[in-house]
Structure 1
């Protein structure tokens, strides 16, 4: 094609091989368009796992306090937030890396530690960003099978299968606990046994975006193993339980030497001033966090019960969402019709076709009013 009238294929041919084959992250439905479409009406947004209760009042106040200095660059080191996080997690500040959401960090770990000739391992039905990160870095992704659909833990990570998938060319393993999009989790003992099998030169990145919502007694944060496993990384975010999704603040905790290498590629001023201030304030408001987590647990249990009462299969969850089976595999068209009908009624869920789970929809646990509206509209659609 003439370079005077290029199209996407022309520019794709100029990109690196990994990027040529890459598909952009799918955020689901176009929520901005739906907000315009339903302006002035009650739009129930249950597709992005956002916190329906909003951030701490202290976080809101902190954001307002940054406005008068908005002409200044933010602290390039994020020092105050790092020190607050270090105190909370009992680590040194040098062990913390800040990101524009944890998404940025997940991408950068592959950029730094993987690449052409290297392998990345993730589990089937894992977060879509892991595959994108591997491919963007030019690495080869190997997908380990998940657990069988048993009653206790359907579609959960099979840590033994992940360990077997690691080879001498593996440089990076991505694991989410609890997992998005399934909501499933694994216990502390199982993870400790897994880490004992992982070679020291293979980095294990544990994505704990939903950690604050967990109440399963067998679960424990991978942070407890950081001191004994220098190849272990834990990522967290302020987007979920802390309700700061719009401000984009995430962080990683790992060995200071590992963090120092990551700092070489961190973008200058990658976390804005409002985000830094809000995250620090939110971190200090334990009362609001406890209240949010308690409300989520209540609504998660009641919504799951209500959906099961309607004959739907609801996967166990330790997160702020539920994965729900609406049809048998192969009948994805029925699920698409249900999804479209709910959208017409002003209720937005998350299609799962991109994860190979097109017979399911993921439902954010809303507040009581949102969940009542969902169930009322769902009854009409299913009828």
Structure 2
């Protein structure tokens, strides 16, 4: 029996190489993974205690409605509980939205180089994909408006954008929202929201009362350090939440994930510490780039996209053989760039040292061939 025709040319999402696989393949004992934008400092110590407490209830199904987490998160965000939906990571919220609104005969608009799951899920639903090229790493909002028509159902904004780290300013966001037709959902994917320091980054939650077609996505996977537990959420008008809830799988978030998320949001001091160290880590990479004349995108996330003017896959392999897993830009639309997660100070120093050695060797080879 044949599967959907849309699946025939799709490949599963390819995350960064697993640590265990790299150890086996190259006979290494130490691996530093800076490929998936995980928090190198883990999660709040209070999360561990919450997880241990939950192990006493592993025989019970989780609360599918996530009532306790819903109550605490709504208070933390200052939104009504009815405006929240939880997913097995924000990836599942993307899936719920595409399942709910996209089908053959509809289209969806997104940046050309952005989080790939928007496109992946839309293809499965048979929708037309309209990709608008980035301009210097930024969303071309004017071009995206021009791509909207009567059959458009969802527009995706990734801010900060993965993989470039650029963000959409408050002024640009307001202008865009004022022009989008009411029948089109605007999804503001803010997976890296907690890392942003730009003063003109929009606080989007207050716009929900003005724009009932706005959906905001956030996650506990990145800054809160709960990537292994897979829990994210969406914020939207109650009518949207009611409409899409039937597309959510029952018991889609675990008891452990819900308890961990509740503990994580209560420890904002830990979060602030991580964010401060992340900015210092980014500066290490900025200094490295400027010293070596490399182009890069200033980032509002916990990652940086650097153009080495070299085959990204070759450079990726060079680092991999030395125990450093990063993300080749070849798979992200940037064939001479690497996307590197900001690690701790020592991890950053180590990988920068390997990159500098590579650049020096490459420069020497080029001189010999001239």
TM band (smaller chain): over 0.9
Please name the residue that 2:329 is paired with: 352
After TM superposition, give the deviation of residue 133 of structure 1 in Å.
1.4
Deviates more, 1:35-44 or 1:114-123: 35-44
For 2:295, the equivalent position in structure 1 comes to: 313
| Aligned pair partner of 1:177 in 159, 163, 166 | 159
For 2:274, the equivalent position in structure 1 comes to 292
Could you tell me how far apart the structure 2 residues matched to 1:142 and 1:298 are? 37
Give the TM-score taking structure 1 as reference length. Answer: 0.91
Please identify, of 25-34 and 370-379, the stretch whose mean Cα deviation from structure 2 is larger.
Answer: 25-34
Give the CA deviation at 1:251. 0.2
Partner of 1:136: 124
Contact 2:296-2:304 within 8 A present in 1 as well: yes
Partner residue in 1 for 2:261 = 279
Tell me, yes or no, if the aligned pair for 1:108 and 1:133 is still in contact at 8 Å: no
Q: Are 2:323 and 1:335 equivalent residues in the alignment? A: no
Residue 86 of structure 2 aligns to a residue whose secondary structure is: strand
Instruction: Tell me the residue number matched to 2:62.
Output: 74
Match of 1:100 in 2: 88
Q: Does residue 304 of the first structure (1) align with residue 304 of the second (2)? A: no
Determine the structure 2 residue equivalent to 1:377. Answer: 354
TM-score normalised to the size of structure 2? 0.94
Superposed CA RMSD in Å reads 1.4
- Distance apart, 1:145 and its partner CA: 2.4
Match of 2:304?
Answer: 322
Distance 1:293 1:21 in 2: 39
Q: Distance in 1 between matches of 2:73 and 2:28?
A: 40
| Cα distance in structure 1, aligned partners of 2:63 and 2:95 | 22
Q: Which string of whole-angstrom CA distances, capped at 9 and with x for unpartnered residues, describes residues 196-247 of structure 1?
A: 1111110011100000000011112322211111100000000100000000
1:231 and 2:213 matched: yes
CA contact (8 A) 2:19 2:31 kept: no
1:32 shift after superposition:
3.3
Partner of 2:367: none
CA contact (8 A) 2:173 2:202 kept: no
Moved more, 297-306 or 57-66: 297-306
Q: 8 Å contact 1:35–1:43 — kept in the other structure?
A: yes
Partners of 1:274 and 1:191 in 2: CA distance:
36
> Is this contact kept in 2: 1:226–1:255, CA < 8 A?
yes
Structure 1 equivalent of residue 364 of structure 2: none
Q: 2:289 & 2:167 partners in 1: Cα distance?
A: 21
In 2, distance between residues paired with 1:48 and 1:77? 29
Structure 2 residues not aligned, in runs of 5+: 362-370
Matches within 5 A, 1:86-235: 86-147=74-135, 154-235=136-217
Q: Distance in 2 between matches of 1:96 and 1:315?
A: 33
- Gap regions ≥5 residues in structure 1: 1-10, 148-153
| Deviation of the 1:31 alpha carbon | 3.6
Mapped to 1, the partners of 2:26 and 2:34 lie a distance apart of: 15
Deviation per CA, 1:144-168, whole angstroms, max 9, x where unpaired?
1221xxxxxx221011111111111
Aligned length: 360
Whole-Å Cα distance in 1 between the matches of residues 211 and 111 of structure 2?
A: 21
Task: Look up the SS of the partner of 2:243 in the other structure.
Answer: helix
Residues 270, 260 of structure 1: CA spacing in aligned structure 2 closer, same or farther, 3 A cutoff? same
- Equivalent-residue separation in structure 2 for 1:57 and 1:28 (angstroms): 26
Give, in whole Å, the separation in 1 of the partners of 2:48 and 2:18.
26
Alpha-carbon offset, residue 335 of structure 1: 2.5
Picking from 341, 345, 348, the partner of 1:368 is 345
Q: Is the 8 A contact 2:16 2:325 kept in 1?
A: no
